[in-house]
Amino acid sequence: MNRVEMFRRAAHVGFGLGVILLTYFIGAEYMKLLLVLLFLFLVVVMDLKIKNYDLWIIDDLLALIERPNSIPAYGAFWYTVGLLLIFSTLSSFNEIAASTVMIAIGDGVAVLVGKWGRISLPYNRAKTLEGLLAFMVGGSAAYFFIGLNGIIIAIVCGIVESINLPIDDNFTVPLASVILVRML
Protein backbone atom coordinates (compact mmCIF):
# COMPACT_ATOMS: atom_id res chain seq x y z
CA MET A 1 0.00 0.00 0.00
CA ASN A 2 1.44 3.36 -0.99
CA ARG A 3 1.92 6.43 1.17
CA VAL A 4 -1.06 8.27 -0.30
CA GLU A 5 -3.45 5.41 0.45
CA MET A 6 -2.10 5.09 4.01
CA PHE A 7 -2.58 8.82 4.57
CA ARG A 8 -6.06 8.64 3.02
CA ARG A 9 -7.09 5.91 5.43
CA ALA A 10 -5.62 7.75 8.43
CA ALA A 11 -7.51 10.88 7.36
CA HIS A 12 -10.67 8.80 6.82
CA VAL A 13 -10.55 7.34 10.34
CA GLY A 14 -9.27 10.49 12.02
CA PHE A 15 -11.88 12.75 10.47
CA GLY A 16 -14.72 10.44 11.49
CA LEU A 17 -13.45 10.14 15.05
CA GLY A 18 -13.01 13.93 15.14
CA VAL A 19 -16.63 14.34 14.04
CA ILE A 20 -17.79 12.07 16.87
CA LEU A 21 -15.68 13.92 19.44
CA LEU A 22 -16.72 17.35 18.22
CA THR A 23 -20.38 16.30 18.17
CA TYR A 24 -20.07 15.22 21.79
CA PHE A 25 -18.80 18.67 22.78
CA ILE A 26 -20.80 21.03 20.54
CA GLY A 27 -23.91 18.98 19.80
CA ALA A 28 -25.36 17.44 16.67
CA GLU A 29 -27.07 20.59 15.36
CA TYR A 30 -23.84 22.63 15.35
CA MET A 31 -21.93 19.72 13.86
CA LYS A 32 -24.53 19.42 11.11
CA LEU A 33 -24.06 23.13 10.36
CA LEU A 34 -20.29 22.61 10.10
CA LEU A 35 -20.87 19.66 7.75
CA VAL A 36 -23.16 21.77 5.55
CA LEU A 37 -20.42 24.41 5.34
CA LEU A 38 -17.87 21.72 4.50
CA PHE A 39 -20.21 20.34 1.84
CA LEU A 40 -20.56 23.77 0.22
CA PHE A 41 -16.80 24.30 0.39
CA LEU A 42 -16.18 20.94 -1.30
CA VAL A 43 -18.67 21.73 -4.07
CA VAL A 44 -16.81 24.97 -4.78
CA VAL A 45 -13.42 23.19 -4.68
CA MET A 46 -14.64 20.47 -7.04
CA ASP A 47 -16.01 23.06 -9.44
CA LEU A 48 -12.80 25.12 -9.41
CA LYS A 49 -10.60 22.04 -9.84
CA ILE A 50 -12.70 20.76 -12.74
CA LYS A 51 -12.14 24.18 -14.32
CA ASN A 52 -8.36 23.69 -13.72
CA TYR A 53 -7.85 26.45 -11.17
CA ASP A 54 -4.74 26.26 -8.98
CA LEU A 55 -5.77 26.32 -5.33
CA TRP A 56 -2.35 26.36 -3.62
CA ILE A 57 -2.69 24.67 -0.19
CA ILE A 58 -5.89 22.87 -1.18
CA ASP A 59 -4.04 21.27 -4.11
CA ASP A 60 -1.38 19.95 -1.71
CA LEU A 61 -4.04 18.57 0.63
CA LEU A 62 -5.93 16.94 -2.23
CA ALA A 63 -2.70 15.31 -3.41
CA LEU A 64 -2.41 13.71 0.04
CA ILE A 65 -5.97 12.45 0.41
CA GLU A 66 -7.32 11.76 -3.08
CA ARG A 67 -6.57 8.81 -5.30
CA PRO A 68 -4.63 9.61 -8.45
CA ASN A 69 -6.72 10.25 -11.57
CA SER A 70 -9.93 10.75 -9.60
CA ILE A 71 -12.27 13.71 -9.55
CA PRO A 72 -10.75 16.25 -7.12
CA ALA A 73 -12.36 16.09 -3.65
CA TYR A 74 -14.66 13.25 -4.81
CA GLY A 75 -14.07 11.02 -1.79
CA ALA A 76 -14.33 13.89 0.70
CA PHE A 77 -17.53 15.04 -1.00
CA TRP A 78 -19.24 11.65 -0.61
CA TYR A 79 -17.90 11.22 2.93
CA THR A 80 -19.49 14.56 3.84
CA VAL A 81 -22.76 13.63 2.10
CA GLY A 82 -22.82 10.37 4.09
CA LEU A 83 -22.26 12.24 7.34
CA LEU A 84 -24.98 14.75 6.45
CA LEU A 85 -27.36 11.83 5.89
CA ILE A 86 -26.49 10.50 9.35
CA PHE A 87 -26.88 13.87 11.04
CA SER A 88 -30.11 14.66 9.18
CA THR A 89 -31.92 11.43 9.99
CA LEU A 90 -30.69 10.34 13.41
CA SER A 91 -31.34 12.29 16.58
CA SER A 92 -29.38 10.92 19.53
CA PHE A 93 -25.65 11.28 19.97
CA ASN A 94 -25.25 7.51 20.42
CA GLU A 95 -27.05 6.71 17.17
CA ILE A 96 -25.06 9.35 15.28
CA ALA A 97 -21.78 8.12 16.77
CA ALA A 98 -22.57 4.47 15.99
CA SER A 99 -23.35 5.26 12.35
CA THR A 100 -20.27 7.47 12.04
CA VAL A 101 -18.15 4.59 13.38
CA MET A 102 -19.25 2.52 10.37
CA ILE A 103 -17.94 4.98 7.82
CA ALA A 104 -14.90 6.05 9.86
CA ILE A 105 -13.51 2.93 11.48
CA GLY A 106 -15.28 0.13 9.60
CA ASP A 107 -14.59 1.44 6.12
CA GLY A 108 -11.21 2.84 7.15
CA VAL A 109 -9.76 -0.43 8.40
CA ALA A 110 -11.41 -2.51 5.68
CA VAL A 111 -9.17 -0.96 3.04
CA LEU A 112 -6.03 -1.18 5.15
CA VAL A 113 -6.49 -4.87 5.92
CA GLY A 114 -8.16 -5.77 2.62
CA LYS A 115 -5.15 -4.65 0.57
CA TRP A 116 -3.13 -7.46 2.12
CA GLY A 117 -5.96 -9.96 1.97
CA ARG A 118 -5.58 -13.16 -0.04
CA ILE A 119 -9.12 -14.50 -0.19
CA SER A 120 -11.23 -12.69 -2.80
CA LEU A 121 -14.95 -12.47 -2.22
CA PRO A 122 -16.93 -14.61 -4.71
CA TYR A 123 -19.33 -11.76 -5.49
CA ASN A 124 -16.67 -9.03 -5.78
CA ARG A 125 -13.14 -10.12 -6.73
CA ALA A 126 -11.83 -6.60 -6.00
CA LYS A 127 -12.60 -7.07 -2.27
CA THR A 128 -11.23 -9.61 0.17
CA LEU A 129 -12.65 -11.64 3.00
CA GLU A 130 -9.99 -10.17 5.28
CA GLY A 131 -11.15 -6.64 4.43
CA LEU A 132 -14.78 -7.59 5.02
CA LEU A 133 -13.94 -9.10 8.41
CA ALA A 134 -11.85 -6.04 9.30
CA PHE A 135 -14.85 -3.83 8.54
CA MET A 136 -17.07 -5.95 10.74
CA VAL A 137 -14.59 -5.89 13.64
CA GLY A 138 -13.80 -2.17 13.31
CA GLY A 139 -17.44 -1.23 12.85
CA SER A 140 -18.30 -3.24 15.95
CA ALA A 141 -16.91 -0.31 17.95
CA ALA A 142 -20.50 0.94 17.54
CA TYR A 143 -21.26 -1.51 20.37
CA PHE A 144 -19.99 1.13 22.80
CA PHE A 145 -22.73 3.50 21.65
CA ILE A 146 -25.76 1.29 20.93
CA GLY A 147 -24.96 -2.13 22.37
CA LEU A 148 -25.39 -5.40 20.46
CA ASN A 149 -27.24 -3.65 17.65
CA GLY A 150 -23.90 -2.03 16.79
CA ILE A 151 -22.43 -5.44 15.98
CA ILE A 152 -25.42 -6.38 13.82
CA ILE A 153 -25.14 -3.08 11.96
CA ALA A 154 -21.37 -3.58 11.49
CA ILE A 155 -21.97 -6.99 9.90
CA VAL A 156 -24.61 -5.70 7.48
CA CYS A 157 -22.68 -2.51 6.64
CA GLY A 158 -19.56 -4.59 6.01
CA ILE A 159 -21.48 -6.64 3.47
CA VAL A 160 -22.91 -3.48 1.87
CA GLU A 161 -19.39 -2.00 1.60
CA SER A 162 -18.10 -5.17 -0.03
CA ILE A 163 -20.70 -5.21 -2.81
CA ASN A 164 -19.69 -3.57 -6.08
CA LEU A 165 -22.29 -0.82 -6.34
CA PRO A 166 -22.29 2.15 -8.73
CA ILE A 167 -22.62 4.53 -5.75
CA ASP A 168 -19.68 5.52 -3.53
CA ASP A 169 -19.47 3.48 -0.32
CA ASN A 170 -19.04 6.71 1.66
CA PHE A 171 -22.75 7.12 0.94
CA THR A 172 -24.03 3.52 0.84
CA VAL A 173 -22.51 2.57 4.21
CA PRO A 174 -24.13 5.50 6.09
CA LEU A 175 -27.39 4.85 4.24
CA ALA A 176 -27.42 1.21 5.34
CA SER A 177 -26.43 2.19 8.86
CA VAL A 178 -29.16 4.81 9.17
CA ILE A 179 -31.80 2.38 7.92
CA LEU A 180 -30.67 -0.28 10.38
CA VAL A 181 -30.44 2.11 13.34
CA ARG A 182 -34.00 3.20 12.59
CA MET A 183 -35.21 -0.41 12.24
CA LEU A 184 -33.46 -1.76 15.33
At residue 68, does pLDDT exceed 70?
yes
What's the CA gap between 107 and 104, in Å, rounded?
6
At residue 81, does pLDDT exceed 80?
yes
Q: What is the pTM of this model?
A: 0.93
Q: Choose between 69 and 113: higher pLDDT.
A: 113
What's the CA gap between 39 and 41, in Å, rounded?
5
Counting the structural domains of the chain, the total is 1
**pLDDT, mean of residues 109-138:** 96
What's the CA gap between 142 and 155, in Å, rounded?
11
Q: CB–CB of 103/78 below 8 Å? A: no
Q: Which domain, by its residues, includes 91?
A: 3-183
